């Protein structure tokens, strides 16, 4: 709740980055953030026996965001959203403010901001508000579950958000989603595509962060590459594709020249052991490493 502006606006410069995106991608970011939070609580609420203001709340919100994906390609023609607004009206009656509890209001607000982002032709402000509300739904729920009935100061909530894995996962999704959309390689966007590519972005960023922390310590670099292979093979299922990704990770970590070359050679050793059964590469293999180098 309180950590989002610092991490996403001050550090991540999300508002500035959204302003550089084409309108359709800005709307896609807003819609993906809302949908990610809704899908989380579609599972969590029944597990905890939580009852929203109406039993159809989650299903109605998901119908709205799924419809937004079909309308995003028409964003420059300002598509008619009146049918989706009527769906919202089915949920939000005159006494809604008195009925809503826990994090339902934040999920509603995330969905509404995604809708307004599309209505306003890809508004960066609306997209940022959708992401913030989606995150707040996660933070508010897990903070209240961890400290039931306790009044907490902002600093205490921020400390909780920094440590809580669910909050961190939401940050990771939103930042990975934005990074993918900034690359601009896919002409047709969908939540499934964004979710897959966001997982890849989060993996790459974790790996780059690990390499920076490892410095020049060979053992630490090896540990990072072992995790990189374990996580990456579950995502891309291709040993050959891993070479392209590891090159990206090393560059993203800020290494070039001889430092980039050394890490590629260390990766070659680790990859050989983990994926090739330790069979030695031929003498002409370009990334042979001198042991301990």
Q: What is the mean pLDDT of residues 183-209?
A: 86
Which of 185, 216, 234 is the last residue in one of the domains? 185
Please indicate, yes or no, whether residues 83 and 228 belong to a single structural domain of this protein: no
Q: Which of 159, 185, 211 is the last residue of a domain?
A: 185
Q: Where are the alpha helices (DSSP H) in 153-254?
A: 154-163, 165-183, 191-214, 218-236, 239-252
pLDDT digit string, tens, across residues 254-283? 999 999 999 999 999 999 989 887 677 777
Predicted model pTM: 0.81
**CA-CA distance, 200 to 185, in Å (whole number)?**
14
Residue 8 located in a structural domain: yes
Instruction: Look at residues 151, 185, 219 and tell me which one is the last residue of a structural domain.
Output: 185
Give residue 36's domain range: 4-185
Report yes or no on 191 lying in a domain: no
The CATH number covering residue 79 comes to 1.20.1590
Residues 40 and 144 in one domain: yes
Question: Quick check: is 173 in a domain?
Answer: yes
Residue 234 inside a domain? The answer is: yes
Q: Which residues of 192-216 are buried (b: 16+ CB within 10 A; e: fewer)?
A: eebbebbbbbbbbbbbbebbeebee
Task: Tokens 């610092």: give the residue.
Answer: 6
**Domain assignment of residue 291, yes or no:** no
247 pLDDT band, cuts 50/70/90, is very high
Same domain, 110 and 210: no
Specify if 94 maps to a domain. Answer: yes
Total domains present in the chain = 2
Is 265 inside any structural domain? yes
- Give yes or no: residues 8 and 50 share one domain: yes
Question: Same structural domain for residues 164 and 78?
Answer: yes
Share of the chain above pLDDT 70, in %: 96
Q: How confident is the model at residue 78 (pLDDT cuts 50, 70, 90)?
A: confident
* 170 & 246 share domain: no
209 and 178 housed in the same domain: no
Cβ neighbours of residue 92 under 8 Å, at least 6 residues apart? 108
Shared domain for 204 and 161, answered yes or no, is no
Domain-embedded: residue 237: yes
């Amino acid at each position: 709740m309180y950590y989002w502006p610092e991490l996403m606006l001050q550090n991540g410069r999300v508002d500035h980055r959204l302003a550089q995106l084409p309108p359709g991608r800005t709307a896609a970011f807003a819609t993906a953030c809302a949908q990610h939070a809704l899908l989380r609580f579609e599972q969590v609420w029944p597990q905890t026996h939580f009852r929203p203001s109406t039993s159809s709340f989650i299903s109605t919100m998901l119908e709205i965001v799924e419809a937004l994906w079909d309308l995003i390609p028409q964003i420059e023609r300002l598509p008619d959203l009146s049918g989706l607004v009527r769906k919202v009206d089915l949920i939000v009656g005159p006494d809604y403010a008195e009925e809503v509890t826990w994090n339902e209001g934040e999920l509603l607000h995330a969905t509404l901001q995604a809708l307004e982002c599309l209505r306003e032709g890809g508004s960066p402000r609306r997209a940022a508000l959708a992401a913030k509300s989606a995150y707040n739904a996660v933070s508010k729920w897990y903070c209240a579950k961890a400290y039931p009935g306790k009044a907490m100061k902002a600093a205490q909530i921020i400390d909780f958000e920094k440590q809580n894995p669910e909050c961190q996962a939401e940050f990771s999704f939103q930042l990975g989603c934005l990074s993918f959309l900034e690359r601009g390689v896919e002409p047709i966007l969908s939540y499934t595509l964004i979710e897959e590519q966001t997982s890849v972005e989060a993996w790459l960023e974790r790996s780059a962060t690990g390499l920076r922390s490892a410095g020049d310590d060979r053992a630490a670099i090896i540990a990072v590459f072992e995790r990189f292979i374990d996580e990456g093979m579950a995502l891309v299922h291709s040993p050959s594709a891993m070479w392209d990704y590891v090159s990206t990770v090393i560059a993203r970590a800020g290494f070039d020249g001889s430092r980039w070359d050394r890490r590629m050679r260390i990766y070659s050793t680790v990859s050989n052991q983990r994926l090739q059964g330790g069979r030695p590469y031929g003498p002409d293999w370009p990334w042979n490493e001198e042991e301990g180098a």
